[in-house]
Structure 1
Amino acid sequence: MKKIGVLTSGGDSPGMNAAVRAVVRKAIYHNIEVYGIYQGYTGLMTGQIKKLELGSVGDIIHRGGTVLYSARSEEFKTEEGQKKGIEQLRKFGIEGIVVIGGDGSYRGAEKLTQHGFPCVGVPGTIDNDIPGTDFTIGFDTALNTVIDAIDKIRDTATSHERTYIIEVMGRHAGDIALWAGLAGGAETILIPEADYKMEEVISRLERGHERGKRHSIIVVAEGVGSAVDIGKQIESSLNIETRVSILGHIQRGGSPTAFDRVLASRLGARAVELLMAGKEGRAVGIQSNKLVDFSISEALSQKHEVDLSMYQLSTELSI
């Protein structure tokens, strides 16, 4: 393989740039030309492709977001769109692609592989919802952003003796809420993977008030529902004042942590090694701190699961 491409797709995540840097420099080290595909699959179809050199990825390892930009594409979900992309790849002589992104990006990579074009997926999403890997690029940074916010909000919650409901991202996965809630000492954590009853949330708040506790932090994963609605239910049941903080896209930005930079570097380099070895339709990941690779199709067929023992621990520690 003499020429490969690299693209980022879907929601951006801190560490994507570190992964792009690793792909480019690992490939050039092995005398392989690298082409950056800008604007994700949209740019692939329209030929927004440029050759990258060593200097092209200088001073980006510490930057959040993605220098290749990102976009979601409905057209690429069609066979016609996929063929447009392949036509552009052949035009530039590109023989394989590293795709950095989440499950939507993996589906695009799967389709390209089925059309006979080698792809390797690198998990880049703050949601940490890709089966087959313990961690995805960006999760640790987003987690630390949320923890920092919780710590600051708790200061105000304590000062004003209020209950704060903090809504975090994660789409249909509760990893951010669970890890941040446990690390931030939240009194209640609500995630999509665990059933909850509002009566139990109310009861926990009441027990806290009975022992003199006048402030609480409740962390809600966006996949559970609206933090605003939950706050209203609490106010109507307990006649207490609540405040809601929806952290939103602040969780997706920022300089990546050391963990995410190292993870991205390892996974990006490994993706190039797989293409060099003639492997296609694979995704890279990390399990028990060891690099692994597995079928993209297999990953897409599985359901992401959280560690419910952590959820039980958070309940026991918040009595």
Structure 2
Amino acid sequence: MTDTINIRSDSYKKPKLRKIGVFTSGGDAPGMNAAIRAVTRTALANKLKVIGIRRGYQGMIEGDFMPLRSSDVSGIIQLGGTILKTARSKEFRTPEGRQKAWLQLQNAGIDAVVVIGGDGSFTGALTMSQEYNVSFIGIPGTIDNDMYGTDYTIGYETALNSVVCAVDKIRDTAVSHGRIFIVEVMGREAGLLALNSGIACGAEVILIPESKEQHEALKRFLEKGYKSRERSGIIIVAEGDEPGGALKISEEVRRDHPELDVRVSILGHIQRGGSPTANDRINATRMGVAAIDALLDDQKSIMIGLDNGKIVQVPLNKAVKLNHSFNGELLQIQKLLNI
């Protein structure tokens, strides 16, 4: 009789985590620096070495790496943007580009990576982790607040406050001159920033990709509400709204209502900048700490999120494939308050 040797799966132990990388990718968002700071210092407190990867996936491909010490992230929590820079990389979308990135990580001895970004950044991380078994932990950093599995993304509140501040100032001019201002805010595929800023600013109409009925509300406002009340108006438009954004909508309004004084204001990239709010700093810090905790627990291919104020772990494949939830109740509130 031959002896049977049972080999326990845990006899093949995973190499000990010694060095991590951290980078920011996609559009910058206020609070990314707070997340970098939290990731770096939590890792260092757990005796891990930290490598900052500059310029996102393009920097990963090119080996644009820098060691991060505690002093390197001192005095950055209040800064907008990202000290690690960010860039979009067409090369990383190719198998050859991802292979270059993996080789750079191997040569630098990086065992795992924390990526701070949005949907596109996490899609890249998921693909690379599947191809090369690299441990990626995602921290949602995007002003759109459109990631599945989390109530909050870093930068959203700061961007929202920036929009509200700008529109309040535009309202002063609109009232003074009896004008309609069509204000375009960011949100190519999601209108949450437009919806909530419109509610906060008391906008007469809010146009977002998720709702088609609001274009009928715009027609009603122009034909009845504006003329009968002889007042100014604010129309908030998400840049991704199907009819084409503020400029195209303004052309249609001027064509159909030449008697109205219509102006356009595209807020653009002022929404991305600025010092992060307290909540963006606090939540970015919590998520940064949770990302390192997840790596120490041998987690991979997950996103750190917030659900009712509590830290949660969401599989990356769900975060990038499932749609964010849209609260239609807010649109109903807006309609009710603009009777």
Partner in structure 1 of residue 44 of structure 2: 28
Residue 230 of structure 1 deviates from its aligned partner by 1.1
**Contact kept in structure 2, 1:193 and 1:305, CA below 8 Å:** no
CA distance, structure 2, for counterparts of residue 181 and residue 281 of structure 1? 35
Supply the distance in 2 between the matched residues of 1:210 and 1:43 (Cα, whole angstroms).
55
Counterpart of 1:81 in structure 2 is 97
TM-superposition CA deviations, 1:178-202 (whole Å, max 9, x none): 0000000000000000013645312
Residue equivalent to 1:129: 146
From 284, 288, 295, give the equivalent of 2:315.
295
Match of 1:283 in 2: 303
1:64-79, aligned counterparts within 5 Å?
64-79=80-95
Helix, strand or coil at the partner of 1:271: helix
Mapping 1:1-319, distance limit 5 Å: 1-114=17-130, 115-196=132-213, 198-224=215-241, 225-238=244-257, 239-319=259-339
Alpha-carbon shift at residue 306 of structure 1 (Å): 1.9
Corresponding residue SS for 2:247: helix
Gaps of 5+ in 1: none
The alignment's C-alpha RMSD in Å is: 1.2
In 2, Cα distance between the equivalents of 1:203 and 1:127?
28
For 2:331, give the aligned amino acid: Y
Larger Rg: 2
Query: Deviation of residue 236 (structure 1)?
Result: 2.5
Asked if the contact 2:205–2:217 (Cα under 8 Å) also holds between the matched residues in 1, the reply is no
CA contact (8 A) 1:77 1:108 kept: yes
Q: Which moved more, 1:173-182 or 1:200-209?
A: 200-209
* Equivalent AA in structure 1 for residue 305 of structure 2: G
Report if aligned partners of 2:117, 2:140 keep a CA contact under 8 Å in 1: yes
Distance 2:143 2:335 in 1: 24
After TM superposition, give the deviation of residue 206 of structure 1 in Å: 3.3
Moved more, 157-166 or 223-232: 223-232
Give the drift of 1:72. 0.6
Give 1:135 deviation, angstroms. Answer: 1.1
Contact in 1 for aligned 2:20/2:111 (Cα 8 Å): yes
Is the Cα contact below 8 Å between 1:188 and 1:217 reproduced in 2?
yes
| Residue aligned with 2:229, SS | coil
The one-letter amino acid of 1:314's match is Q
Moved over 6 A (4+): none
Q: Judge which range, 306-315 or 191-200, deviates more.
A: 191-200
Farther-moved stretch of structure 1 (152-161 vs 112-121): 112-121
User: Cα offset for 1:247?
Assistant: 0.3
Q: Distance in 2 between matches of 1:36 and 1:197?
A: 45
Percent of aligned positions that are identical: 48
TM-score, normalising length from structure 2? Answer: 0.92
1:112/1:118 contact within 8 Å kept: no
SS of residue matched to 1:130: coil
Which amino acid is 1:231 matched to?
S
- Residue 108 of structure 1, CA deviation: 1.4
Question: Unpaired segments of 5 or more residues in structure 2?
Answer: 1-16
Change (3 A) 1:197 1:14: closer
Cα distance, 1:210 vs structure 2? 4.8
**Paired AA for residue 71 in structure 2:** G
**Letter aligned with residue 229 of structure 1:** K
CA distance in 1, matches of 2:327, 2:152: 12
**Contact preservation (8 Å) 1:82, 1:112:** yes
Cα distance in 2 between the residues matched to 1:294 and 1:181? 30
Q: How many residues align?
A: 319
Q: Give the Cα separation in 2 of the matches to 1:198 and 1:104.
A: 30
Cα distance in 1 between the residues matched to 2:275 and 2:330: 27
2 CA distance for matches of 1:138 and 1:219?
A: 20
Alignment partners' CA distance in 2, 1:7 and 1:110: 15
